[in-house]
Each structure stands twice: as C-alpha cells, then as structure tokens.
Copies of this chain bind each other. A is one copy, B any other.
Amino acid sequence: MNEAAFLAYLRHLPLHAGARGLRDDAAVLGDLVLTHDLLVEGVHYLPDDPAEDVAWKLVAVNLSDLAAKGAVPEGVLLGYPLAGDEAWDSSFLAGLDAALAAFACPLIGGDTVKAPPGVPRTLSLTALGRSPHAPARNGAQAGDLLYVTGTIGDGGAGLEVARTGEGPATLLARYRRPTPRLEEGQALASGVHAMMDVSDGLLIDATRMAEASGLGVTIDLAALPLSADYQAVRGGDRAARLAAATAGDDYELLFAAPPGPLPLAATCLGAFSEGAGLTLHDAGTPLPLPDRLGFEHGA
C-alpha cells in the first residue's frame, strides 16, 4: 500500500476533530499542537550520517512542523531502538542534548526498545507545542501571495555533499543540521492564511497547499531565493533553480498571506488563484511542469 492509499483508509477511522482530516502537518487541539515524525535509516538519513546529526535532525524536523503552526515547543517524547552500538548511542545522545538545548525544548518522555542489530534504525519523536492561533495548511485564499522564508535548495545540495564528500560545509550543515523556523512561525502565525514547512520540495509542498485550499498556484521560478553557497556549487540557471525547487530537506516556512507588509523578511514566489494545480513560470516564460515536483512518500 502506498502512502496515499494508507492515508485514505486512515481517514475512514474515527478521527479527532484536531486531526484536521489528517491533511495538515500537525494536529491542533485547542492551543495544543502535536506532531509525530519518524526517521528511517537509509530513507531519511544516510547510514553513515553521524548519529549526532541524526538526533539533531529528528528533533528539527518535528519542531519544523510546530513552527509551521506558530507553536512554542513544550517538549518531545523519544522512541529509540537500542541495537547494541555503544558509540552510536552515545553520539546520538550528544546530538539530542545539543538540539534540545538549541531549541529550548525539554524531554517529556518516550520509550526505548531492544532492536535487532544490523537492521536499519527507525527513530520516532513526538513533539508538543502551544500556539494561540495555529494556521492551517488549507486556508489560502484567491489573491493571496505565496511566500517562503530563507533560501531554498541548500538541504538538497547538502545531501549531495554528504553523498560525495565534496562541497561546502555550510551546505552539508543545512542538510544535516536544519533549523526549524520557530521564531519566524510564531511571528507569522496570526497574519497568514495558510502555512506549512518545506520538507519534500518547494513545488510539491506549494501544490499541496493549493490543493488543500481548493485553489491553483502560480510560481515564478526566477524569484526562488538561492544562497550564495548554492549558486557557487550549482549556478543559478533554470536547471539549478528547478533542482532547488524540487529538492527536499529545506525546512523553511511556506505561507499564503494577503498582499501587505509582513513581520519579517520573506520571498514572494507567486500567488494563489481560483482554479487548480501548479502553473510554473520563469521570469514570464511559461514552463512545463517537471516530472517530479519533490519527494513523494511511498512512491
């Protein structure tokens, strides 16, 4: 069963109102925001990624979902497999310590299990936060502008650095130690119509926001914010921008907001309109959609 079929079945089960139909990054129960994300060795991280960085990433990807709801983290619950690798465990704990300290997020609880050695690890985390007004993924309105924080493509380029061992350490850090945009999310939450984090790729995530909102979205690839490091490695031509827009692991915030001032710097990439689907331009030139808009789970 692929993810879409599995989720379709799950939606027939008794759902909590706060589940938002399982169509959002996090569940929202009053002011409580809850998310639960797994990392699987060989799927979400490379088997030779340092355990310290894997721990950091496990925390960061979950807190990124909280950031998209404008939440202040309250704590995390960890699910950890003990596979008899002392060095890995110690390194993981050091990374966990660093991430929890960096994001001022304490440990609430969790579970350790004995895991068969030699089997790819599955790591789980549940993060809990509080947000007075958590924006949904499906709240974009026709006429809203589409914005993104920070720069796009660095995570994907960093994965390439990890794979090849060549390239700037700054990009590698963007892949291995992403920063959840917690303060940005908190600043934006009350003013945006929809918000989510960019985890699977900008184009696929923007398309999901438009679909959830029953709208179409137009993106101008020329507006894509690329870092100097990214451009030094990949250049800034159309292929480079398309690669950045379809790579995952950015953990920036993507949001729909009405025209007008924002509480922080962000890049406007396009706009939502009546209709459906993604329309892509490059500085006025219409572009055909690439075969792959981003990472699709279970595809």
| Given A6-B80, A27-B77, CB of A13 within 8 Å of CB of B100 | yes
* Best-surrounded residue of A14, A24, A35, A110 (most CB of chain B within 10 A): A110
Chain A's interface size range is 35 or more
**Cα distance, A189 to B83, chains bound together (Å):** 36
Q: Is the CB of A109 within 8 A of B297?
A: no
Q: Is the CB of B43 within 8 A of A109?
A: no
Q: For A16, what are the chain B residues with a Cβ–Cβ distance below 8 Å?
A: 74-75, 106-108
Q: For A36, what are the chain B residues with a Cβ–Cβ distance below 8 Å?
A: 77-79, 109-111, 124, 126
* Closest chain B residue, CB of each to CB of A89: B1
In residues 75-118 of chain A, which contact B (Cβ within 8 Å)?
75, 77-82, 86, 89-90, 93, 96-97, 100-101, 105-116
Stoichiometry (number of copies): 2
Give the B-binding residues of A (Cβ under 8 A). Answer: 1-3, 6-7, 9-10, 12-16, 18-19, 22, 24, 26-27, 29, 32, 34-40, 42-44, 74-75, 77-82, 86, 89-90, 93, 96-97, 100-101, 105-116, 119-120, 122, 124, 126, 128, 297-298
Sample of 20 further A-B pairs with CB below 8 A, known A27-B108, A79-B122: A6-B93, A13-B93, A14-B100, A14-B107, A18-B75, A18-B108, A19-B75, A19-B107, A27-B75, A29-B74, A32-B32, A34-B126, A36-B110, A40-B115, A43-B114, A79-B79, A112-B298, A113-B122, A114-B298, A122-B122
